[in-house]
Amino acid sequence: MKYLYLLYADESKMPHPGTPAFDAQNNAFNDYFAEIDGKGMFKAGDPVQGSKTSKTVRVRNGQTQTESGPFNKTGDQLVGFYVIEAKDLDEAVEYAAKCPAAHVGAMEVRPIFQM
pLDDT at 11: 87
Which domains, from first to last, does the chain contain? 2-111 (3.30.70.1060)
Please list, in sequence order, all residues whose beta carbon lies within 8 angstroms of the beta carbon of residue 25, skipping any fewer than 6 positions away: 14, 15, 100
Residue 77 has pLDDT above 80, yes or no: yes
Give the pLDDT confidence of 15-46 residue by residue, as tens digits: 999 999 999 999 999 999 999 999 999 999 99
> What would the mean pLDDT of 4-12 be, rounded to a whole number?
91
- The rounded distance, in Å, linking the Cα atoms of 36 and 78 is 21
Dihedral sign from CA coordinates of 104, 69, 49, 81: positive
- pLDDT tens for residues 79-109? 999 999 999 999 999 999 999 999 888 999 9
